[in-house]
Structure 1
Amino acid sequence: MSTSRYLVVGAGLTGSAIAWQLAERGCEVTLVERTAPAAAGGSSHGSARIFRYAYAERDYVDLAVRADAAWEELERRHGAPLLERVGALDHGPGRDPRALARVLRDAGVEHELLDAATARRRWPQLVLDGEVLHQPGGGVLDAEGTVHAMLALARARGARVLTGWELTRLERTRVGFTAHAADGRRVDAGHVVVGAGGWLPDLLRELPLPSGFLAAFPVLQVREENAFHFPYRAEHPHGTWPTLIHNPGDQDVYALPGGRDADFRGQKVAVYNAGRPIASAARRSGVVDPANRERVTAYVRRYLPGLVPEPYADTTCLFTSTPAEDFVVDGVDGITVASPCSGHGAKFAPLLGRIGADVATGAAPAPERFRVGGRRPGA
């Protein structure tokens, strides 16, 4: 049996960020992880996630600007880069680059709106649809490296990190909670933060939360996404590629430098939200869908001539999404639930650590749209 003022469940980007920020504030923190930090079975493994500013809604653009400053602080504290600024592109009629550019302009974010001919001269390895939005400050973040950087900073401030610690039950006590692990270990805590990603649909049923909070909690859908690595042609090597999001009208496709996940040999390419729906991370199969591979390969053949249209590596990953694709950072009665999910949360990790720590300590509420039962777009 051990005790801690704050118990954080889950050592992915979310849990690690919140544990770090709680420790920075002088809080006693224990973080527990069912396997290992940034484990391959979760949503925070690997070295390649997109950092971008382009959103149709100003709320998220403003959050990205704040996250940018938080990344700079984290890199300074860590002493090494975690975000490579290769630039970010948005194009295709389904992305509406001109509308995105207006939001970035109003938010004061550096950007360029390029005609197709200019963009093709700059990036001849791409087939570009119409106008192209370029964000020079965009890039690729190292998810796994970021988790370990934040955990190192948390440990330096006294946080404990327990691995192989799978939460099976959380029991409310007179003075807080007792968390029970599958192997019989226990931790007593005054406040619990749950950042369990794709395991949250299962865990929610095990948390002693009020029925009203659970009833208002947005439905979580977990998908087992597929991503594929395609090799660079010799004339377009690593270092010449931005990240991109392209919607030709029927699907969002994203591509980014694969980093060390793919030995720096190619781009990581995937169709957004095209994976198999599963009940929770516990049902993950790790099996790549052949039809998905064919679909992405056909896309690469048509739109990414700077790549050889033959994937040399593939992987599965988890997207845990709410219906509006908003995050959830909210709590009640000593439990904070943090699910910065829906496939676009990684870029906000250091900032969401602050937001989650604010909610857990009572220092400030989360943005209204992240609260259970809070405002949603159009509401």
Structure 2
Amino acid sequence: MSERTEHLVVGGGAMGLAAAWQLAARGASVRLLERFEAHHTRGASHGSTRNLNNAYAEPEYLDLFGEAVTLWRALEAESRTELLGLHGLVTHGDADVVAAAHDALAARGAAVTLLGADEAAARWAGMRFAGDVLFSAEAGIVHAARALAALEAAAIRRGAIVERCERVLRIEPQADGSGVRVTARGADGSERALDADHVIVTAGAWTESLLGDLIDLPPLVVTEEHPAHFAPRSASLAWPSFNHMLPPELEAEYGAPVYGMPSPGEGVKVGFHRVGDVVDPDERTYRASDAQRERLRRYVAEWFPGLDGDAPAEISCTYTSTDSGRFVLDTVGPITVGAGFSGHGFKFTPAIGRVLADAAQGRATPPECFRLRAHAR
């Protein structure tokens, strides 16, 4: 005998928890299945901080950012937990990227300022800068681990059922149009069937293995990324969050843009964006290559005089990326998919939860640029 629910969410990282929260808040019956324990380190949602980065020129991302901040603030008020730290964000390096982000944000009335490199270095003495520096005062960090706990608690308060250590084996749309049957295996090895009117799949690096035979997904490349925390040389140094959008000569040397942020109690997080080795998410090394480690240390030595580059505390996480870096948000029959967050999705989490809930309930379709047909072009 199978169990039945109105909405089933597969994957309990940030996006799945946000979708469950949004659906439960609307009075829907929701059950979430997560393969691993809370705050596990096998995926993409763990860790203490994420970059609350609004340095985009594309309106779809800026729309999501504004909505996400509003929803983060609502969740803060409900949970009585600080989830955002607005110490500001600096973006520098590629002059065209900096100018485009500045103009897009300024047009929306955002609190942004262009600083010269010397002026920025005087303000943030632990860093070096190149060219004009975009300072966004309404940006900073998301306290990621706190956010996951707050999302889960908010969903459960509204009636959502969250079950961990439940590995989904199969997702089968029913031929009679009655919804979806999901087969899951518990920690004791037993299997059970659950029926749902609709399923939302937010399974990160495991999306392809669950949906590849059901939905014509764009290529989803899973990489293992290794940013690291570096200790400041002085407690007196101020740290913003940051993006270094490398110009061609530096990209040839380092290979990718750099991002980072202060992580209270851990140091300053610095990492290259989308440079990791392609991996099977179940067969990871949890260790950067020697070449990657050396490149990051060399970068920090050149661009962060205020950090001790010799003793990094390495982090391991996965990116699941599309070719364009755009997210995959769409519905096919009784299945809604949220995937391909490409290393820059966390800040948008509560807004993406709303998009997924709308799609699952048939209230609204996701923004066109994130839908499957847009990826097929």
TM-score (norm 2): 0.92
Aligned-residue CA RMSD (Å): 1.7
Contact 1:328-1:338 within 8 A present in 2 as well: yes
CA, structure 1 residues 166+265, in 2 after alignment: closer, same or farther (shift >3 Å)? closer
Give 2:183's aligned residue: 180
The amino acid across from 1:103 in the alignment is A
**Mind listing any 5+ residue stretches in structure 1 that lack a counterpart?**
none
Contact 1:67-1:351 within 8 A present in 2 as well: yes
Q: Which SS does the other structure have where 1:283 is aligned?
A: coil
Work out the CA distance in 1 between the residues paired with 2:221 and 2:109. 34
Contact 1:62-1:107 within 8 A present in 2 as well: no
Contact 2:171-2:210 within 8 A present in 1 as well: no
Contact 1:16-1:151 within 8 A present in 2 as well: yes
Work out the CA distance in 2 between the residues paired with 1:169 and 1:235. 51
Contact 2:85-2:142 within 8 A present in 1 as well: yes
Listed as ranges, the matches of 1:7-156 within 5 Å are 7-93=8-94, 96-156=97-157
Give 1:254's aligned residue: 259
Give 1:307's aligned residue: 307
Deviation at 1:236, TM superposition (A): 3.8
Deviation at 1:362, TM superposition (A): 0.3
Deviation at 1:188, TM superposition (A): 1.6
Deviation at 1:374, TM superposition (A): 2.6
**Mind listing any 5+ residue stretches in structure 2 that lack a counterpart?**
none
CA, structure 1 residues 299+316, in 2 after alignment: closer, same or farther (shift >3 Å)? same
CA, structure 1 residues 100+172, in 2 after alignment: closer, same or farther (shift >3 Å)? closer
Aligned length: 363
Q: Which SS does the other structure have where 2:282 is aligned?
A: helix
The amino acid across from 2:269 in the alignment is K
Spell out, residue by residue over 1:237-256, the C-alpha distance to the aligned partner (whole angstroms, 9 max, x if none): 5xx21111113321301121
Spell out, residue by residue over 1:170-225, the C-alpha distance to the aligned partner (whole angstroms, 9 max, x if none): 2233422221113312222111110001111211235xx3xxx41xx211111100
Deviation at 1:235, TM superposition (A): 4.6
Contact 1:368-1:375 within 8 A present in 2 as well: no
Q: Which SS does the other structure have where 2:149 is aligned?
A: helix
Deviation at 1:330, TM superposition (A): 0.6
Deviation at 1:157, TM superposition (A): 0.9
Deviation at 1:105, TM superposition (A): 1.1
Q: Which SS does the other structure have where 1:96 is aligned?
A: helix
The amino acid across from 1:317 in the alignment is C
Deviation at 1:142, TM superposition (A): 1.8
CA, structure 1 residues 357+265, in 2 after alignment: closer, same or farther (shift >3 Å)? closer
Work out the CA distance in 2 between the residues paired with 1:139 and 1:333. 38
Deviation at 1:13, TM superposition (A): 0.6
Deviation at 1:95, TM superposition (A): 6.3
Deviation at 1:375, TM superposition (A): 7.2
The amino acid across from 1:201 in the alignment is E
Work out the CA distance in 1 between the residues paired with 2:182 and 2:126. 52
Work out the CA distance in 2 between the residues paired with 1:235 and 1:148. 29
CA, structure 1 residues 297+346, in 2 after alignment: closer, same or farther (shift >3 Å)? same
Work out the CA distance in 1 between the residues paired with 2:236 and 2:273. 25
